[in-house]
Amino acid sequence: MQINDKLLTKLEKLSAVQIDSNKREEAIEELNKIVGFVEILNELDLSQEKATFTTLKGGTPFREDNPHVNDEIIDTILKHAPKSENRYFVVPKIIE
């Protein structure tokens, strides 16, 4: 895969990021280097490897989930919020 100006424009739209015109060539070069590195990984023969979901023997250790409420932190965060009510953020309604 080769990154060109047309593909970079599409990536800008998808990521909601705009790259300055004087940085476009540099961005294209960097993205081509990244794609080239990832394409090297496609050369690996993984047909004999078993799919795994963890590298830890025996799976992921669980910990007890203990909620911790610090009223001082909550008050500090809400103090900087544009709007709050009953210790919650107030945001515009987006679903009818």
Under the banding of pLDDT at 50, 70 and 90, the label for residue 17 is very high
pTM strictly above 0.75: no
DSSP 15-38: HT----GGGHHHHHHHHHHHHHHH
Distance of alpha carbon 76 from the chain centroid: 27
Instruction: State pLDDT tens for residues 50-91.
Output: 887 766 677 677 888 898 889 999 999 999 999 999 999 999
What residue segments make up the domains of the chain, in order of their start? 5-41
